[in-house]
Structure 1
């Protein structure tokens, strides 16, 4: 007779994934966990934004607090892109295969970003996302591929891009805004190459320095339930990020607060 636990695992991929962590104690769970925390914060921030922007209510969150949390959350995602890029390519030795793989991966993520652009254009034209976190991550995956073996340089270049971005934001260069230059009206979910791509390169540096062996730095004999839930979210963060925006905007539309 099949136990209830086995039935649940067979029927529920989510619980099956939690069992994966238990069977693979050397999986680098802390990366998924950190990404999971970031996706929870991101969803919370977008709910707050929708409530305030569409006049559903007033969350009372100070703009400064919102801005800091938004940048911290996005910065976490962008930094982890670099770390994860190192981990996902540890066993790929052929340069052409590595480049092809990451170009396709980057283009896929960038396409998700363009999907967000389209959705924001339809539902919130005054807050249209022109170059958001997914655009940056998609392009960052491609660019960082050429820097995977340049470890020391990544730290220097990454810090340089971050610092340079603090200055370019005040320079108006028209349609070069995606590089990090000022462009009137581009504010919502805006994460240009400077300074944000610098965090990806710093992530590559950290990945090469601390995770080149492909093993967790925080081994656990037992995974707490809450850790498994959050790590699961982190593992599927890209799809969750894309879908949650559709869900939030659809909800706002459904209650009549949004019109075309």
Structure 2
């Protein structure tokens, strides 16, 4: 355990790795958006890299939810804490939706992005945690529905569920089907990795690279919110698009 108010530096370090992966992937996305030369981020292998980055973020959020539940045994306090934190993330996500709608002229803007997803999943976390193996069964069903293409097309207001118009496009789209399953798997993985809130394996968290990654991981939300404007400014400055 670290000294940062009961945080888990090993988990923060994993989150820090995910943050660096995100920045790298979005660097290539921004190159493509600005019409600059670079590998295509929407085809293999960068598309897979971006997918693994999102899976890492959502899975780590699930593990973190397990640890928070272990610290708050009272169900009423759990519901209150997760409702508050989940609501905060959903509100921030809504702000991103509004900003990207204006910036992108209503085309490809963030409809139900990763913050919307994690916020919703956190609100559901106390219930999912107590569902036992039914939660894992539910996650499996969500994955099967997604992989088999059973979801029909539908109106935009159902995009949060995974049902969306045929011509739908968004730069950040992580609907509940199938992405809630990743959070659930993280939630249950937390039980294996941190049973009763204690790590099964001893991690050396005092090495400088781990400390650096853990520091980044603790600032994950802030970095997530500012990294795109910073990337755009840096890319445009170094390529002479800003004079």
- Structure 2 segments unaligned to the other structure (5+ residues): none
Question: Which residue pairs with 1:200 in the alignment?
Answer: 183
How far does the alpha carbon of each residue in 1:1-49 deviate from its partner, in whole angstroms, 9 at most, with x for none?
A: xxxxxxxxxxxxxxxxxxx84x68x964332122111111111111211
> Hey, what does 1:114 align to over in structure 2?
94
On the 8 A contact 1:112/1:242 being kept in 2, the answer is no
1:155 aligns with 2:139: no
Does 1:246 find its partner at 2:229?
Answer: yes
2:163 equivalent to 1:181: yes
Q: In structure 2, do the counterparts of structure 1 residues 224 and 178 end up closer, same or farther at CA, with 3 Å as the change threshold?
A: same
CA RMSD of aligned residues (A): 2.6
Distance in structure 2 (CA, Å) of the matches to 1:169 and 1:35: 33
Structure 1: segments with no counterpart, 5+ residues: 1-19
| Per-residue deviation, 1:250 | 4.9
In the TM superposition, residue 97 of structure 1 has moved relative to its aligned partner by: 1.4
Aligned counterpart in structure 2 of residue 88 of structure 1, from 68, 77, 99? 68
Q: Distance in 1 between matches of 2:113 and 2:212?
A: 27
Aligned partner of 1:141 in structure 2 is: 122
Q: What is the CA–CA distance in structure 2 between the aligned matches of 1:201 and 1:150, rounded to whole Å?
A: 11
Q: CA deviation at 1:257?
A: 5.6
Aligned partner of 1:59 in structure 2 is 38
Offset at residue 208 of structure 1 (A): 2.3
Counterpart Cα distance in 1 of 2:179 and 2:149? 12
Is contact 2:67–2:197 with CA below 8 Å preserved after alignment?
Answer: yes
Distance 1:247 1:111, change over 3 A: farther
- Give the TM-score of the pair, scaled to structure 1: 0.81
Bigger radius of gyration among the two? 1
2-structure distance, mates of 1:222, 1:135: 31
Paired residues of 1:169 and 1:180 also in contact (CA < 8 A): no
Give distance in 2, aligned partners of 1:147 and 1:221: 31
- What TM-score results when the alignment is normalised by the length of structure 2? 0.86
What displacement does 1:253 show? 7.3
- Give the count of matched residue pairs: 236
Question: How far off its partner does 1:198 sit?
Answer: 0.5
Q: Give yes or no for contact 1:27–1:215 (8 Å, CA) kept in 2.
A: no
